[in-house]
Chains A and B, each alone.
Chain A
Amino acid sequence: QTVVTQEPSFSVSPGGTVTVTCGLSSGSVSTTNYPSWYQQTPGQAPRTLIYNTNTRSSGVPDRFSGSILGNKAALTITGAQADDESHYYCVLYLGSGIWVFGGGTKLTVL
């Protein structure tokens, strides 16, 4: 069974830059996996940040960006702010109607 991998946790200083990645246990991530990214704070439903690899959802600040880096999808936060402290999840389309979420990355801003 294919697993979608993410770093379990990351720490970034206010104003700093952090890149969270989303990989596959077997193979490379490409645009045909339609990577999307979600932000979730405790007790809240996920919020869509990035869809189709690199398009920001409406209202999402431009300090959030998505890309393919090497063989993984990536979410980069440039100029991190305190309220970016959240869990971040990616999801990939594996084909045949199957989607898989990554395990999530807990981002600490300090």
Chain B
Amino acid sequence: QLQLQESGPGLVKPSETLSLTCTVSGGSISSGSDHWGWIRQPPGKGLEWIGTMHYSGSTYYNPSLKRRVTISVDTSKNQFSLKLSSVTATDTAVYYCARYSMPPRAAFDIWGQGTMVTVSS
């Protein structure tokens, strides 16, 4: 079955760029209308949608993060990536990658296990 796995540094310095990769296994990232997204959760807080992309190149970002976020895809590796620039301590969070299935399903239906990223000098 389809599985997602996040990877990347667990510690990033303030003002630097956070970079994470999500590897998709058990299925193709280029499959039909599926979208692929990033969601984060600061310690003790709720979930925040960061952005979503389709393998064709369409991207959608949270307006509050748009200036700092880039989501891209590498179909040859069946991976998609997140870059978040100019990070501060408020970007410390567990970062999840997830598949968004378009309607009629319409849900983030498969999630990675999440990876903790701490922003600290």
**Which residues of A are interface residues toward B (Cβ below 8 A)?**
1, 34, 36, 38, 40, 45-48, 50-52, 55, 57, 87, 89, 91, 93, 96-104
Contact = CB atoms under 8 A, between A and B. Distances in A.
Nearest to A100: B49
Nearest to B102: A34
Interface of B: 37, 39, 46-49, 52, 58, 60, 62-64, 96, 100-101, 103-109, 111-114
Contacts of B47: 38, 40, 46, 89, 91, 101, 104
Contacts of A40: 47
B49 A36 contact: no
Contacts of B111: 45-48
Given A47-B111, A48-B108, A52-B105, 16 more contacts: A1-B64, A34-B107, A36-B107, A38-B108, A46-B96, A52-B107, A57-B107, A57-B109, A87-B46, A96-B60, A97-B52, A97-B58, A99-B100, A101-B46, A101-B47, A101-B48
